[in-house]
Amino acid sequence: MKGHVQDRWWRPKTDGNGKPVLNAKGHVVREKTERFGKGDRYKVRYFDAEGNERSKSFPDKELTRARAFLTKMQHDVLTGEYIAPESGDEKFREYTAQWQKGQSADAGTRQTVNSHLKTGIFPFLGDKPLKLVEKTDTIRDWLDWLERPKKEGGRGLMASYRAILFDTVSAILQAAADDKKIRSNPCRAKSIKRPKPAQRKVIPWPESRVHAVQLALPPEYTVVVPLGAGLGLRQMEIFGFSPDDIDRDEMIVNVQRQIRWIGGVPVFSPPKGGKTRVVPLGAGVLDGIDGHLAMYEPVPLTLPWLEPGGRPETVRLLISRVLRRSRQYRNKPVWHIIKGSNFTKTEWKSAFSAAGLDYVDRRDGMHAMRHFYASSLLAQGVSIKEVAEYLGHHDPGYTLRIYTHLVPSSHKRARAAADKVFAPRRAATESVTAQRRPEGA
């Protein structure tokens, strides 16, 4: 491949006819150029993958390094590993804007990613060039900043959230590597460790706590408990639930929507991950739903589908906001629509106080009802695969990692199966003794 190293301080001497001047040994005589002693001495000229000539200069006494650079550029072009030097000058923020064009079209997902970028990524990495973000030292400094307490100049974020941010940055830098903006993704380096969230075992509520919270809720909201603890619905699936989702003949519920808030605008959307599901409906849960219907009429609500401006969809909601006083959201009246964070603050936590219970942390949020539901199924011998389907998990392995400590031990059943084939001596002796025992003994 074409390319050479030019010495800009010396050049071949020529005669009046432009022919090289040779010395007594037949070697070309060299003479100083006008640039002698000024600036970099060596200039490497090479051609990139598109056939464009490029160059890079090196100072005096670095001929070896200049030749090594030329060899590397020629090798990278031949193997397809060539990266233009100016590619790494692009700011991380600017490249991320291009990366986002190829990501999920779901408005909720875009909103979540933008929140992550704004919260913990752009403030530290946004204005740095890609060639600097590519360095493992930069990623280490960023991870330290995320973990360091706010009083020490950091963000003080939990490991679980830091892991999410790490995965986002890794995805962006992997795309940059694929686009030949950088050579490699530093997040995949062996010296970089992904934040590891602390694995806390799920401790299901006792049944008494479930009933205590239900009794303490306002009457119009007590039905959220059988929907959560009896069907395993997520919070915004509960508030997007319609009595029309019930198949009374088959005794099942079709979980097919939730309410999401996109930039302050409520929309209907599929459940988390776009995964609709079918959940068996217990007779007692149906009684709870019917009891609510006997007292409160379903409220027809029309919202856009998936994103603001989407096609309108009308659904008869089982649960609607009860306006005890005038409420607004961002200076606009909000009718019938429940926002999860508002419900947790005004109704859910208040129920704990009314029931004389301590609201410890997020583990006492409405998601605790899903944990109770899962533990109840496992206690009845429902398989992990089925529990995963009813909860709407994509991977039964994920469900197992969360609830493995709640799976009933099969030791007793295994012993019984073995004893059926190989009867223990004591059991056999007792059986013979019972047969010989005289009546009335």
Record the tokens describing residue 36, joined without a space. 């002698």
Give the model's pLDDT for residue 297.
93
Question: What pLDDT does residue 332 have?
Answer: 45
At residue 73, the pLDDT reads 87
Q: Domain-by-domain residue ranges, the chain?
A: 3-82, 89-188, 207-396
Q: Residue 341's pLDDT is what?
A: 86
CA 45 to chain centroid, in Å, comes to: 45
C-alpha–C-alpha distance, residues 290 and 248, integer Å: 11
Q: Which fold has domain 207-396?
A: hpI Integrase; Chain A (1.10.443)
- 8 A C-beta contact, residue 399 and residue 388: yes
Tokens for 379, please give them: 């206690």
According to the model, what pLDDT value does residue 114 have? 94
The per-residue pLDDT for 91 is: 96
Strands 265-269 and 258-262: antiparallel
- pLDDT (0 to 100) of residue 79: 83
Measured CA to CA, the distance from residue 230 to residue 286 in angstroms comes to 10
Query: Residue type at 239?
Result: F
**SS in 3 state form for the chain?**
CCEEEEECCEEECECCCCCECECCCCCECEEECCCCCCCCCEEEEEECCCCCEEEEEECCCCHHHHHHHHHHHHHHHHHCCCCCHHHHHCEHHHHHHHHHCCCCCCHHHHHHHHHHHHHHHHHHHCCCEHHHHCCHHHHHHHHHHHHCCHHHCCCCCCHHHHHHHHHHHHHHHHHHHHCCCCCCCHHHCCCCCCCCCCCCCCCCCCHHHHHHHHHHCCHHHCCHHHHHHCCCCCHHHHHCCCHHHEECCCCEEEECCEEEEECCEEEEECCHHHCCEEEECCHHHHHHHHHHHHHCCCEEEEEEECCCCCCEEEEEECCCCCCCCCCEECCEECCCCCCHHHHHHHHHHHHHHHCCCCCCCHHHCCCHHHHHHHHHHHHCCCCHHHHHHHHCCCCHHHHHHHHHHHCCCCHHHHHHHHHHHCCCHHHHHHHHHHHHCCCCC
Other Cβ atoms less than 10 A from the Cβ of 34: the count is: 8
Q: 85 Cβ partners below 8 Å, 6+ apart?
A: 54, 56
CA distances from 150 to 41, 120, 146, 147, 361 (A): 50, 12, 9, 9, 21
Q: What is the pLDDT of residue 339?
A: 83
The per-residue pLDDT for 363 is 85
Q: Are 117 and 193 in contact, with CB atoms under 8 Å apart?
A: no
Chain centroid, CA 193 distance in Å: 17
Round to whole Å and give the CA distance between 46 and 56: 9
The superfamily (CATH) of domain 89-188 is Tyrosine recombinase, N-terminal domain (1.10.150.130)
Note whether 125 and 187 are within 8 A (CB): no
Q: What is the distance between the alpha carbons of residues 245 and 257, in angstroms, rounded to a whole number?
A: 10
Using CA atoms, how far residue 414 sits from 385, 411, 417, 420, in Å, is: 21, 5, 5, 10
Low-confidence ranges of the chain (pLDDT < 50): 324-334, 441
Q: Which of 260, 284, 285 is nearest to 273 (CA)?
A: 260
Whose structure tokens read 């804007």?
97
pTM of the model: 0.73
CB neighbours of 232 closer than 8 A, spacing ≥ 6? 279, 369, 370, 373, 374, 390, 391, 392
Q: Which residues have CB under 8 Å from 242's CB, separation 6+? A: 257, 298, 315, 316, 317, 318
